[in-house]
């Protein structure tokens, strides 16, 4: 990938990773991610190129304009500028709740990347954005994602269902959340 990782969305960095905003030029990359059956296994199946175009236009690019500081960002490896997939901190559709999430190409799984940037995003959300609570939802069967959320410091709190058409077909989803005070008390900032 040729993207400059210094152009990270909202300047967010972790030890090995950086976030940058998506642009219209990322359509092929995002289309590949959303067309991968392993990636989309618990997300309702693969997306068509048209579905990904709509996601990029509305859920990603328009959303940046309407919701400063929040969004879906490309997750870049700082050592070589490789795009690993995306991380997000945005609204659960149809709700005022802010969720953390991620979607990585399978060749990058199992190296702690999803957890590492989720920790940075949670700190960013609680401190720089001043969010009082951050939540997450995953399919009940998506145990690796649930493991990531626990490692990032969220707490499992039963299940929830949503009426919004983006989630309704899944039925009950595993529900995670943690308040700012609780998370920050347990994740003191490192001295730099
Ligand atoms: C979920 C996903 C982001 C995980 O990325 P990752 O970079 O591999 O995550 P990490 O390496 O930080 O951690 C994965 C953890 O899950 C564990 N894990 C992996 N497969 C597992 C399984 N089948 N059951 C239980 N735990 C599993 C790993 O052992 C690891 O935990 P550990 O560090 O305690 O050993 C990745 O699988 C993915 O992109 N999936 C497709 C998209 C998706 O489902 N996103 C979540 C939507 S809610």
CATH topology of domain 5-186: Aminopeptidase (3.40.630)
The whole-model pTM stands at: 0.94
Which candidate, 162, 153, 156, places its Cα nearest to that of 183?
153
Confidence at residue 6, expressed as pLDDT on a 0 to 100 scale:
41
Q: Which of 1, 36, 35, 33 is nearest to 20 (CA)?
A: 1
* Pairwise CA distance, residues 160 & 179, whole Å: 18
Determine the Cα–Cα distance for residues 57 and 128; give it in Å rounded to an integer.
26
Q: What's the rounded Cα separation, in Å, for the pair 90 and 87?
A: 10
pLDDT single digits (tens) 154-189: 999 999 999 999 999 999 999 999 999 999 999 998
Per-residue pLDDT tens digits for 14-24: 999 999 999 99
Ligand 1: nearest atom to the Cα of 115:
12
The tokens of 121 are what? Answer: 């995003």
Q: Tell me, what DSSP letter sits at residue 92?
A: P
DSSP state of 127: I
What are the DSSP E strand ranges found in the chain? 17-21, 71-77, 83-91, 98-104, 133-138, 155-160, 173-179
Ligand 1 centroid–CA 85 distance in Å is: 13
- Could you tell me the distance, in angstroms and rounded to a whole number, from the CA of residue 145 to the centre of ligand 1? 5
Backbone angles phi, psi at 37, to 5 degrees: -60, -30
Residue 9: what pLDDT?
60
- Both structure tokens of 42: 């618990």
Of the CA atoms within 13 Å of residue 56, those in its CB half-sphere come to: 22
**pLDDT category, 190, cuts 50, 70, 90?**
confident
Distance 94 CA to ligand 1 centre (A): 26
At 192 the pLDDT is 52
């Amino acid at each position: 990938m040729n993207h400059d990782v210094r152009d990270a969305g909202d300047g967010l960095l972790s030890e090995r990773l950086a976030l940058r905003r998506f642009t219209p030029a990322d359509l092929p990359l995002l289309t590949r991610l959303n067309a991968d059956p392993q990636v989309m296994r618990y997300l309702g199946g693969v997306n068509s190129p048209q579905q990904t175009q709509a996601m990029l236009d509305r859920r990603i690019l328009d959303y940046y304009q309407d919701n400063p500081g929040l969004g879906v960002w490309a997750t870049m490896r700082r050592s070589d500028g490789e795009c690993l997939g995306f991380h997000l901190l945005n609204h659960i559709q149809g709700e005022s709740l802010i969720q953390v999430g991620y979607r990585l190409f399978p060749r990058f799984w199992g190296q702690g990347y999803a957890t590492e940037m989720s920790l940075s995003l949670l700190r960013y959300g609680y401190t720089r954005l001043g969010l009082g609570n951050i939540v997450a939802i995953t399919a009940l069967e998506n145990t690796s994602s649930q493991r990531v959320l626990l490692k990032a410091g969220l707490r499992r709190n039963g299940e929830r269902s949503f009426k919004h058409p983006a989630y309704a077909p899944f039925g009950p989803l595993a529900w995670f959340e943690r308040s700012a005070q609780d998370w920050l008390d347990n994740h003191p900032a490192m001295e730099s």
